[in-house]
Structure formats: C-alpha cells, structure tokens
C-alpha cells in the first residue's frame, strides 16, 4: 500500500529495508511536544491571515491537544509506516477531525517543520542543562564554604607543588562551569530564530505572517534565508560543542574524585549511594558514578564529531542525511544531563579527611617556594639565587630525611648565612596558603569572598559571611 502522506507520485509502498532505514519515529517521537506546539502556532497564524477558517483552526487545535494527551497518557500508537513524528501526528489528527487536518500543512513543509521542532527541543534542552549546571555550581560553592581552611595538596604534573585550600580547588570548577553556562546561553541566543514559513527551501507563495509564529513560539526573530533555515544544523553542533566542553570539565573532576577516594590518597569518601562493590573482593568500594561520568565525554564528543561528519559534505538545502542529527544529539544531551545530576549528588555526598589532606600537602617540600619568596622579601636576594639556595636546602633535607620544617636555624645558616629565625614562620602549609592573598589566590579570606560572590550570583541572595580562623579550623587565623 502506498504511503498516502507522500501524495500520488508513488504507486506502491516502500520495501521493508527501505522502511527500516527511512523511519525515524523510533527516536524522533520525543519531539511530539515541540511538533504540536509548532502546528498550533502555524494553524493559528493561517487563520489570522485568512488562509484557514477559524472553525478549521479551532478543530485543528482541539485535535492536536487530544493527540498530545494521548501521547502523554501512553495510549497513542506510533506507526513506522508513517516514518516520523510529523506524519504520525497528522495522520491521527485526520482520524480525529477529518478533512480539516489536511489544511494544516498549507504553507509549510516537513523541512521547516523539523527545523522548527528541533530548534525548540534544543532550546528546551539548553534551559534544562543550564539549570543543572547552576545546581552543581551551588553545591560546589556550599561545599567550598565548608572547606575554606581545609588544606589540600596542589599538584602540577600530579606531583606535590604548593598547598592550596580545598575550597579554592572546588571553586576552580565553579569557574569552569560558569564558562559552560555562558557557552550554552550564547548557543541559545543564536538558535532562537524561527524557521517556520521557510517551507521546503524557497519560502511560500501564501501570504503568511512569520512574525505571528515567531512570537507564539518564543523566538526572537524569523530566519532571514529560507535555504539556510531548512539546512542549518549549526544550532545543534554549537550546543554539542558546549556540551563536550562541559562534559570534559566533569570528566576532569570525576578523575580527581576517583584518585582522592583511593586508599593511596584517602582524601575523600563517597557513601554507598554513589559507589558499588566487587563480586569477588568484599573490601572494595568502587567510585563507579565518577568513572561513568569520566567515560560519558566520549559519547558526547563523539556525537559532535558524528554530526560534523554528516553535515560537512551536504549541498543546500535539505538532505535526508540530516535525519542522523537527532539520535546522537538526544544521546549526548541525555548523557550530559545524567552526568550533571550524578556529579551534583557526589559533591553533596562526599566527606573529606582533612588530616590526610594536610599530611599529604606538607609532603614533598611543598613550602619550598615560600622559602624562596622569603629570601627575596626579607634578605633581598634575587629570585634566581633564592631558587638555587632553596634547592640546596631541599637537598640537605633529603640527606637528613626530614622536611623543611625540621631544619634548625644552624642548618639554614650552613646553606646561607643571611637566613635568620624568622624563616620558620613561612614553613607551615597553613602559613603558605594564608600568604597567597593576591586576587584569585588560595588564601582562606579570598576563598570565603569568592564563595560569597558566587553564592549571591547563583541564588540572588547575600551569602552568610564565612568566618576565617574559626575555632577548630585548620587555618592559622590570618585575616
């Protein structure tokens, strides 16, 4: 049987293989909400300009609302023979209201219809992802407030470098996520143009009013070129690019959670809510949620690469290749949404081991730079010379099997007579972090201020001041 939705050109139905490769209803049915919204806006506009009677418009809108209710109730039957969400909705609409349903497709094509539906879907997705990013940022900020003075080893090359505060480390990810938020918002601004009315590729001879559908669907403006409107998928690619960067940031943090929760580090502990056990080793607590987040970036970036390859050789305007845009995008956006939710849960769930963190931060001569800085400030020694002297002090420590804080004043003077007892004040990790008060530095008062700034930005409320140097804290109380 021929597919009557295609018209009279085709006398027979498609081969089973053709139906299998051609149908998209298995995945694009999730666009039903956007498809129905676009059709209601289109029907309303057609009535306003006199192409459609108000009676037909009312019947179409009522029928579409019935279709929506059936889909949401799970009673709607999707047909592969009808290919996609557009034909499935229109076919059911005809069953419900009869001939008037056939007037709905006046002055539009599936080409501008799907472009409109997909823009609406991506816009809705961006709004959801942005809300999730902000929720994760707020969870990180609240955790940072609680860890203003908690000492953590700062690494370069995954080697002990200089001590930082755990709050400072967490706020680094808040900054990354802030950039992610901005990229999604930028993508949203650019995608928010209305393709509806571009028809198949050349526009339409009907006297439509594209401004009406633009306002009804919440777009900023109609697209200015019909060829570009139906063939553009930049809005998906740009959103996938933003998603890839966001997923990469989550993956970096996930890697740190995996490292920190290992027995070798023991900086944090995740509860049973976000870990799993082993089928053979009863002692294991595996950070599987973090590991899976770490892996999701491959799927998300793969979607970006896949769609880029689909689009790279397509002439204007629409080609069926573009049907391949949705599955990869749906999967990528679902993966990022799940990763953001899981990461937010882990940030709220994790518990720190401040003593273990501090011990590790003090290892590896992490205050060596503080010694060099002291030599520059207090002994007026050029930094390159101070660097060399500090290296000699580290070598002496290695010979003695002690840390810098274990050197006596005689040991210091043996290396350089200009050193005096004041140097002992800079040898603790607490003194090291407290000294780094430059804007953006790790000093506890800086961290408290940045956490308050972010909290106000994310909630619209003034944050409670974080008290630095509180009793029982890990800092030295430096203000």
What's the CA gap between 432 and 153, in Å, rounded? 11
Among candidate residues 111, 121, 109, 131, the one with its CA nearest the CA of residue 192: 121
CA atoms within 13 A on the CB side of 52: 28
Among candidate residues 242, 189, 179, 197, the one with its CA nearest the CA of residue 219: 189
Is 347 exposed, middle or buried (CB count within 10 Å of its CB: 0-12, 13-18, 19+)?
A: buried
What's the CA gap between 374 and 383, in Å, rounded? 10
Catalytic residue chosen out of the listed positions 157, 279, 417, 438: 157
Q: What is the dihedral of CA 19, 25, 26, 31, to 10 degrees?
A: 160
DSSP conformation class of 314: P
Residue 261 annotated among the catalytic residues of the structure: no
Catalytic residue chosen out of the listed positions 262, 278, 319, 421: 278
Residue 432 annotated among the catalytic residues of the structure: no
Give whole-number Cα distances, 470 to 150, 164, 451, in Å.
Answer: 12, 18, 17
Long-range contacts of 461-469 (CB under 8 A, 24+ apart): 463/145, 466/145, 466/148, 468/148, 468/149, 468/444, 469/149, 469/444
Which residues are known catalytic residues?
Answer: 157, 278
């Amino acid at each position: 049987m021929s597919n009557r939705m295609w018209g009279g050109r085709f006398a027979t139905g498609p081969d089973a293989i053709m139906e299998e490769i051609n149908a998209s209803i298995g995945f694009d049915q999730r666009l039903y909400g956007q498809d129905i919204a676009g059709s209601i806006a289109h029907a309303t506009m057609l009535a306003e300009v006199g192409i459609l009677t108000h009676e037909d418009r009312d019947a179409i809108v009522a029928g579409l609302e019935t279709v929506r209710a059936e889909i949401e109730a799970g009673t709607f039957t999707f047909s592969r023979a009808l290919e996609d969400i557009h034909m499935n909705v229109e076919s059911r609409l005809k069953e419900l209201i009869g001939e008037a349903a056939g007037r709905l497709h006046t002055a539009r094509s599936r080409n501008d219809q799907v472009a409109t539906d997909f823009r609406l879907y991506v816009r809705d997705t961006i709004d959801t992802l942005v809300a999730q990013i902000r929720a994760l940022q707020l969870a990180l900020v609240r955790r940072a407030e609680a860890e203003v003075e908690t000492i953590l080893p700062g690494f370069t090359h995954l080697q002990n470098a200089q001590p930082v505060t755990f709050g400072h480390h967490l706020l680094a990810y808040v900054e990354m996520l802030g950039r992610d938020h901005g990229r999604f918002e930028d993508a949203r601004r650019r995608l928010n143009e209305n393709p509806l009315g571009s028809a198949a590729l050349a526009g339409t001879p009907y006297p439509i009013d594209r401004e009406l559908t633009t306002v009804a669907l919440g777009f900023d403006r109609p697209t200015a070129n019909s060829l570009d409107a139906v063939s553009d998928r930049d809005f998906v690619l740009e959103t996938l690019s933003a998603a890839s960067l966001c997923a990469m940031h989550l993956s970096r943090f996930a890697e740190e959670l995996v490292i920190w929760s290992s027995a070798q580090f023991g900086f944090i502990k995740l509860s049973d809510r976000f870990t799993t056990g082993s089928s053979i080793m009863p002692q294991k607590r595996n950070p599987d949620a973090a590991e899976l987040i770490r892996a999701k970036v491959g799927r998300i970036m793969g979607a970006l690469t896949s769609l880029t390859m689909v689009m790279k050789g397509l002439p204007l305007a629409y080609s069926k290749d573009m049907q391949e845009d949705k599955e990869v995008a749906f999967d990528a956006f679902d993966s990022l949404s799940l990763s953001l939710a899981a990461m937010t849960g882990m940030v709220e769930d994790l518990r720190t081991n401040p003593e273990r963190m501090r011990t590790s931060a003090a290892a590896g001569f992490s205050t060596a730079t503080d010694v060099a800085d002291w030599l520059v400030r207090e002994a007026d020694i050029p930094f390159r010379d101070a660097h060399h002297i500090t290296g000699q002090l580290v070598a002496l420590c290695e010979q003695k099997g002690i840390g810098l804080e274990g050197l006596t004043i005689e040991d210091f003077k043996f290396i350089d007579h200009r050193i005096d007892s004041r140097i002992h004040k800079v040898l603790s990790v607490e003194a090291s972090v407290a000294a780094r008060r430059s804007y953006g530095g790790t000093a506890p008062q800086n961290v408290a201020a940045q956490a308050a700034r972010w909290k106000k930005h994310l909630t619209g409320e003034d944050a409670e001041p974080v008290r630095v140097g509180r009793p029982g804290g890990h800092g030295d109380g430096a203000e």
